[in-house]
Amino acid sequence: ASSGDSITVRDILVASQQQLGPQHGYQCVSCCRVFPTLWSIKTHIMHSSQEGYSCKVYYHRLKALWKKEQEAAARRV
């Protein structure tokens, strides 16, 4: 993924809102771990490879899929 496609807090929020998860905290939609703050989940995602997870790759691919869907929807209009 290019540096222009960085994962934002908004991306994390949108992804986590689509998951049935705990009432307190934010669930990583890749590894299903729960984090108490947006900062902690974003830190986890950005450094996930050091922890043995591929969450950063997952979020980049998810964001690319969303972008494709938006482009396809815009073409239909």
**Does a structural domain hold residue 32?**
yes
**Does a structural domain hold residue 2?**
no
pLDDT number for residue 57: 92
Residues 6+ apart with CB under 8 A from 55: 28, 30, 31, 44, 45, 48
Q: Is the pLDDT of residue 1 over 60?
A: no
**Does a structural domain hold residue 7?**
no
**Domain enclosing residue 63, as ranges:** 25-75
Give the pLDDT band of residue 39 (cuts 50, 70, 90): very high
**Does a structural domain hold residue 1?**
no
**Does a structural domain hold residue 57?**
yes
Instruction: Enter the pTM of the model.
Output: 0.63
The amino acid sitting at 32 is C
Number of domains in the chain: 1
**Does a structural domain hold residue 19?**
no
CA–CA gap between residue 65 and residue 37 (Å, rounded): 25
- Strand 26-27, strand 34-35: pairing: antiparallel
